[in-house]
C-alpha cells in the first residue's frame, strides 16, 4: 500500500481518537467502548460502500481501509509493550505490595480458572479438540478493566479497590498471553489432546526467563540513563527503547515470555528510577509515556475494531450458541473468584474486604478488548492452524468481546447506579460540606486582599462581602451542625484532611527539591496509608499507620540478620542511611501540619477535634524524634551531614529561583541564564549525593557511648564490637518471655522497653541493660520485656557477658547500679564473680 495513503489513514484515525474522548464524556460511556463502536462503524461502512451499487466514488477509500496492513504482530510487538510498560510506570508499586494477594488471585488464579472453565465447557458443547478449546479460553480470559477503573474513580470508590483492579489489569495480560503461547503450540502441532503436565512444566521457564531478561535489560538501561541524567530527551529515548528490546530479546533470544519481560523491566525502572534520575526528569519521562500509552491504547482498540466485521463475516446460527457457552463459562469462573475465593482470603486476613456491590461491579465490568482481538487475529493468520479452528477462534473471541463491550460496557454505569455505588456515604457527604466551608473561608481571605490591591469602590465591596458572608456562614453552619455525623466521624474527617494535606505538602517539598525523589515515594506511601487507615478504621487506623511509618520493616530485619550472621553489611548500611533521610523528611513535613490543624480543621470541626488531632500529631512527632535520636546515638555526625546536605539543596533551590526571576524581568539574557544554570546543575549533582555511612566506625563509637565501655582501649572496643550483635525491634514486639530460655544480655542503644516482673512493671531507656539479673542470680523471678518504641539493641551472649564481667570493673559497677535500682542486693548478685576475681 502506498505510504501516502497509509499516512493519511493513520492521521484520520488520530482525528477519530481526538473526537472519541469528548464523545464518551458526553454519552457517559467508557472511552474504550466508544472507540470500539467507531472502529466497527468504519469497518462496516467500508464493506458496505465497497459492495453497494449506490456509488463507486468511495471505493478507493473503502479498499484502503479494508486492506490496511493490520497484523497481529503489529499489536503484539508495537502496541502491547507500550501499554504494559506505561502501566507499570504509573503504578504505586509499594502500595500494591500491601495487596499482592488479591491482585495475584484476580490476575493469575482467575485467568487460569477462566481458561479451563471456558475450555472444558466448549469441549463439551462443540466438536473442537480440547487444545483449541483451551486456546480460546486463554484468549478470552484477559480483561480490560479500564472502564470499571475510570468509573470507580469518578464515583470516588476506595483507592485500594481501584488499585487492586489496576494491578489485575497489568498481570492478567501477562498470564493470559503466556497461556496462549502454550496452547497455541499444541494447536499448531496438531496435537489432539494437550498434555497438561508438559504445559505446566514450561510455564515457570517462560515466566522466570522473561522476568530475568526484563530485570537485566532495565538494570542496563538505568545504568545508561544515570550517565546521561542531565539530558532529558536522551533519557526518554532510552526508556522508549527499553520495553521493545526486553520484549524482543526475551521472545527471540531467550525463548521466554516477552510480556513478562516488559512487565519486569517496567517494575524495575519504577522502583529504582526515582532514586537514580533527577526528579523533574522522572516526571517528564512519565508524562512522555502517558502520551505514548494513550495513543497506543486508542490505536490498538480502533484498529482491532476495524477487523470485527471481517472476523464475523461467516458466522453461523450454531456459532451463537457457542458464544453463549463462552459467556456463561467466563462469568461463572469470575464469579467463583469474586464471591467465593476473595471472601475466603478476607477471612484468612490476607486480602482486604471487598463489599458485595463492588464485587458485582467488578464482575459486570470485566470487559474484553484489544488484547483478546489481537490474540484471536494471531490465530486466524496462522497457516499451521486448521481452518475450522481458525474460523471458530475468530468468531467466538470476537463475539464474546462484542458482548462485553456493547452489552456490559454500555450498561456498566447503570449497574453501578443500581448498586448504589454512585451515592456518597454519610462520611463523604460530610467531607464535601467540609471542603465547601474551608474553600469559602479561603476565598473570602483572598478576595479581601484582592479588593484592597485594586482599590475597588467601598459600597460595591461591602454589598458583595455581605452576600458572600451569608453564604459562608450557611456553609460553616451546615458543616458544624450536621446531625448525620458523629464525633468519631468528625475526628475521622479531620484525620483524612490532615493526611491529605500532608500528601500535598510532600509533593510541594519535592517540587522545591528539599525532599529527594527517593524519600518522596516512601513518605507519599506513608501518607496514603494514613488516609486509608483513617477511612477504614478511624483514629485506630491512622495511629496504626503512623506507627508503621517509623517501624523497622521486614527488609531492615533481614538486613540485620545478614549483617549479624554472615557479616554482609551493605544492605544494612543502605537501609540505615535511607531510614536517616526518611526520618529527617518526616520531621520536616510534620512541622508543617500544626498550622493546618489550627487554621483549617479547627474552623470546621471545632476546638475539641482540633485538640485531639494536635495531640495525635504530637505523638507522631515524638515517635519520629525518638527514632531519630536513636540513630543519632548510633551514628553520631551522620545526621548532621544529612542536614548540611538539606541546607545546600535549599540554597540551590533559592538560587535557581532568583536566576529565573532575573530572566523573566529581562535583567539577564538567555546565554547568561544558560551558563548560570549549567553551573548550578553541576553543583546540584554534588549536593544530591548522599554522604557515605561508615557502618563499622559508627558501631564502635556507639559502643563507647555506654558507660561500662567508655574507658576501653581501641583493641578491646573492636573485639567487643565483633561480639555484640545488633537487633532492631518494633514497638509492641516482645523481646523476652517469662517461659523462654535466657541466652543473652541486652544493651539499649535507642528506644525504650517495659519490664514486667512479678506483676510489677518498670521502664528502661537508652544506655540501660536487661537480662543480666536472671543470668547472675539463681531462682530470680523471670521477666517479660516488650518494646514500647522502635528500639535498637546490642545483644551479647551469656558466656561472653560473664567473661567481660570479670574483666571490666565498669561493667560490674553498671550491674551493681542496675541491681540497686531494682531493689536487689548487688553483693548477692555479684558474689560468684567477686569470688573468682
Evaluate if residue 521 carries a pLDDT over 90. Answer: no
Evaluate if residue 455 carries a pLDDT over 80. Answer: no
Residue-level pLDDT at 837: 44
Query: What sign for the dihedral angle of Cα 533, 537, 538, 542?
Result: negative
Summarize pLDDT for 378-426 with one digit per residue, the tens: 888 777 788 888 888 888 888 888 888 888 878 877 887 788 776 666 6
Residue-level pLDDT at 779: 63
Evaluate if residue 217 carries a pLDDT over 90. Answer: yes
Report the distance separating Cα 116 and Cα 113, nearest Å. Answer: 5
> Cβ distance 352 to 102 under 8 Å?
yes
Task: For the chain, give the mean pLDDT.
Answer: 78
Q: Average pLDDT, stretch 789-804?
A: 81
With bands split at pLDDT 50, 70 and 90, how would you rate the model's confidence at 106? confident
- Measured from the Cβ of residue 204, the count of other Cβ atoms closer than 10 Å reads 9
Evaluate if residue 772 carries a pLDDT over 50. Answer: yes
Instruction: Return the C-alpha torsion angle 170, 175, 180, 185, nearest 10.
Output: 130
Please provide the distance, in angstroms rounded to a whole number, between the alpha carbons at the two ends of the chain. 99
Residue-level pLDDT at 238: 92
Residue-level pLDDT at 572: 75
Summarize pLDDT for 230-241 with one digit per residue, the tens: 788 888 899 999
More confidently predicted of 148 and 185: 185
pTM score above 0.75: no
Strands of 744-750's sheet in order across: 725-729, 791-797, 744-750, 769-770
With bands split at pLDDT 50, 70 and 90, how would you rate the model's confidence at 836? very low
Residue-level pLDDT at 434: 65
Q: Average pLDDT, stretch 188-214?
A: 70
Nearest to 262 by CA among 247, 249, 241: 247
> At which residue does the C-alpha cell 470546621 appear?
604
> Cβ distance 580 to 792 under 8 Å?
no
Which residues are 791's β-sheet partners?
A: 729
Report the distance separating Cα 516 and Cα 270, nearest Å. Answer: 15
Summarize pLDDT for 334-352 with one digit per residue, the tens: 899 888 888 888 888 777 6
Residue-level pLDDT at 189: 57
> Cβ distance 730 to 787 under 8 Å?
yes
pLDDT exceeding 90 applies to what percent of the chain? 4
Of the ranges 320-329, 364-373, 543-552, 739-748, which one carries the lowest mean pLDDT score? 364-373
More confidently predicted of 591 and 478: 591
Residue-level pLDDT at 328: 92
Summarize pLDDT for 593-631 with one digit per residue, the tens: 888 888 777 776 778 888 888 898 998 888 888 777 767
3-state secondary structure 462-475: HHHHHHHHHHHHHH
Taking each helix axis from N to C end, the angle separating 602-634 and 458-480, rounded to the nearest 10 degrees, works out to 70
Evaluate if residue 242 carries a pLDDT over 90. Answer: yes
- Measured from the Cβ of residue 51, the count of other Cβ atoms closer than 10 Å reads 9
> Cβ distance 509 to 521 under 8 Å?
no
Residue-level pLDDT at 151: 58
> At which residue does the C-alpha cell 535549599 appear?
650
Summarize pLDDT for 703-738 with one digit per residue, the tens: 777 777 777 777 777 777 777 887 888 777 888 887
- Listed ranges 9-13, 58-62, 71-75, 683-687; the one with the highest mean pLDDT: 9-13
Which residues are 745's β-sheet partners?
A: 796
Residue-level pLDDT at 293: 82
Residue-level pLDDT at 214: 92
Nearest to 84 by CA among 213, 171, 206, 210: 171
Amino acid at each position: 500500500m502506498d505510504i501516502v495513503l497509509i499516512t493519511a489513514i493513520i492521521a484520520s484515525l488520530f482525528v477519530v481518537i481526538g473526537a472519541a474522548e469528548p464523545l464518551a464524556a458526553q454519552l457517559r460511556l467508557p472511552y474504550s467502548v466508544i472507540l470500539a463502536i467507531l472502529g466497527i462503524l468504519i469497518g462496516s461502512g467500508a464493506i458496505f460502500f465497497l459492495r453497494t451499487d449506490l456509488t463507486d466514488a468511495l471505493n478507493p477509500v473503502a479498499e484502503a481501509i479494508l486492506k490496511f496492513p493490520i497484523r497481529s504482530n503489529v499489536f503484539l510487538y508495537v502496541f502491547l509493550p507500550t501499554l504494559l510498560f506505561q502501566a507499570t510506570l504509573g503504578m504505586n508499586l509499594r502500595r500494591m505490595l500491601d495487596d499482592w494477594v488479591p491482585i495475584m488471585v484476580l490476575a493469575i488464579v482467575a485467568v487460569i480458572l477462566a481458561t479451563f472453565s471456558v475450555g472444558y465447557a466448549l469441549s463439551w458443547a462443540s466438536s473442537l479438540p480440547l487444545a483449541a478449546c483451551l486456546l480460546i479460553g486463554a484468549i478470552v480470559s484477559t480483561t480490560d478493566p479500564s472502564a470499571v477503573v475510570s468509573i470507580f474513580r469518578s464515583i470516588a470508590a476506595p483507592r485500594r479497590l481501584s488499585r487492586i483492579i489496576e494491578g489485575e489489569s497489568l498481570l492478567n495480560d501477562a498470564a493470559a498471553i503466556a497461556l496462549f503461547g502454550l496452547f497455541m503450540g499444541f494447536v499448531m502441532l496438531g496435537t489432539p489432546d494437550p498434555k497438561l503436565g508438559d504445559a505446566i512444566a514450561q510455564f515457570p521457564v517462560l515466566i522466570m526467563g522473561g522476568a530475568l531478561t526484563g530485570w537485566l535489560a532495565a538494570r542496563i538501561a538505568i545504568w545508561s540513563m544515570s550517565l546521561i541524567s542531565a539530558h532529558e530527551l536522551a533519557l526518554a529515548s532510552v526508556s522508549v527503547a527499553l520495553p521493545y528490546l526486553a520484549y524482543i530479546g526475551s521472545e527471540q533470544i531467550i525463548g521466554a515470555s516477552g510480556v513478562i519481560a516488559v512487565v519486569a523491566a517496567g517494575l524495575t525502572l519504577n522502583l529504582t528510577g526515582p532514586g537514580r534520575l533527577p526528579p523533574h526528569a522522572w516526571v517528564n519521562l512519565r508524562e512522555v509515556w502517558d502520551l505514548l500509552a494513550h495513543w497506543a491504547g486508542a490505536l490498538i482498540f480502533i484498529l482491532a475494531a476495524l477487523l470485527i466485521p471481517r472476523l464475523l463475516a461467516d458466522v453461523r446460527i450454531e456459532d451463537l450458541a457457542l458464544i453463549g457457552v463462552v459467556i456463561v463459562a467466563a462469568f461463572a469462573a469470575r464469579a467463583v473468584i469474586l464471591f467465593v475465593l476473595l471472601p475466603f482470603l478476607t477471612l484468612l486476613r490476607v486480602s482486604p474486604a471487598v463489599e458485595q456491590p463492588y464485587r458485582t461491579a467488578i464482575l459486570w465490568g470485566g470487559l474484553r478488548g484489544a488484547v483478546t482481538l489481537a490474540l484471536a487475529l494471531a490465530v486466524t493468520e496462522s497457516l499451521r492452524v486448521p481452518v475450522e479452528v481458525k474460523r471458530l477462534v475468530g468468531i467466538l473471541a470476537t463475539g464474546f468481546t462484542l458482548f462485553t463491550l456493547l452489552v456490559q460496557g454500555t450498561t456498566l454505569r447503570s449497574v453501578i447506579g443500581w448498586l448504589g455505588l454512585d451515592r456518597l456515604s454519610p462520611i463523604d457527604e460530610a467531607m464535601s460540606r467540609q471542603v465547601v466551608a474551608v474553600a469559602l473561608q479561603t476565598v473570602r481571605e483572598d478576595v479581601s486582599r484582592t479588593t484592597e490591591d485594586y482599590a475597588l469602590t467601598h459600597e460595591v465591596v461591602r454589598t458583595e462581602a455581605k452576600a458572600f458572608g451569608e453564604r459562608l456562614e450557611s456553609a460553616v453552619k451546615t458543616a458544624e451542625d450536621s446531625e448525620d455525623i458523629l464525633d468519631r466521624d468528625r475526628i475521622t474527617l479531620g484525620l483524612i484532611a490532615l493526611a491529605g494535606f500532608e500528601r500535598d505538602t510532600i509533593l510541594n517539598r519535592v517540587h522545591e527539591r528539599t525532599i529527594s525523589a527517593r524519600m518522596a515515594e516512601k513518605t507519599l506511601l506513608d501518607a496514603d496509608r494514613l488516609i486509608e487507615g483513617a477511612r477504614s478504621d478511624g483514629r485506630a487506623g491512622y495511629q496504626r499507620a503512623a506507627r508503621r511509618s517509623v517501624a523497622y520493616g521486614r527488609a531492615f530485619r533481614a538486613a540485620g540478620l545478614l549483617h549479624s550472621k554472615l557479616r554482609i553489611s551493605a544492605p544494612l548500611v543502605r537501609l540505615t542511611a535511607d531510614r536517616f533521610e526518611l526520618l529527617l523528611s518526616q520531621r520536616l513535613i510534620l512541622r508543617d501540619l500544626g498550622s493546618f490543624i489550627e487554621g483549617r480543621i479547627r474552623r470546621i470541626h471545632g476546638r475539641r477535634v482540633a485538640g485531639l488531632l494536635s495531640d495525635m500529631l504530637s505523638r507522631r512527632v515524638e515517635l519520629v524524634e525518638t527514632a531519630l535520636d536513636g540513630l543519632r546515638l548510633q551514628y553520631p555526625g551522620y545526621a548532621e551531614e544529612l542536614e548540611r546536605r538539606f541546607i545546600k539543596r535549599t540554597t540551590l533551590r533559592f538560587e535557581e529561583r532568583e536566576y529565573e526571576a532575573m530572566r523573566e524581568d529581562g535583567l539577564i539574557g538567555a546565554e547568561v541564564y544558560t551558563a548560570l544554570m549549567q553551573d548550578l546543575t553541576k553543583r546540584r549533582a554534588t549536593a544530591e549525593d548522599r554522604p557515605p555511612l561508615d557502618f563499622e566506625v559508627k558501631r564502635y563509637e556507639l559502643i563507647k557511648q555506654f558507660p561500662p565501655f567508655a574507658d576501653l582501649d581501641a583493641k578491646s572496643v573492636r573485639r567487643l564490637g565483633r561480639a555484640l550483635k545488633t537487633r532492631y525491634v518494633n514497638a509492641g514486639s516482645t523481646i523476652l518471655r517469662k517461659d523462654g530460655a535466657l541466652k543473652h544480655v541486652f544493651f539499649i542503644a535507642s528506644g525504650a522497653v517495659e519490664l514486667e516482673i512479678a506483676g510489677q512493671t518498670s521502664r528502661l531507656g537508652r544506655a540501660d541493660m536487661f537480662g543480666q539479673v536472671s543470668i547472675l542470680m539463681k531462682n530470680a523471678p523471670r521477666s517479660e520485656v516488650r518494646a514500647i518504641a522502635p528500639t535498637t539493641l546490642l545483644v551479647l551472649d551469656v558466656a561472653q557477658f560473664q567473661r567481660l564481667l570479670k574483666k571490666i570493673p565498669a561493667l560490674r559497677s553498671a550491674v551493681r547500679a542496675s541491681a540497686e535500682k531494682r531493689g536487689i542486693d548487688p553483693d548477692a548478685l555479684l558474689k560468684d564473680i567477686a569470688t573468682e576475681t
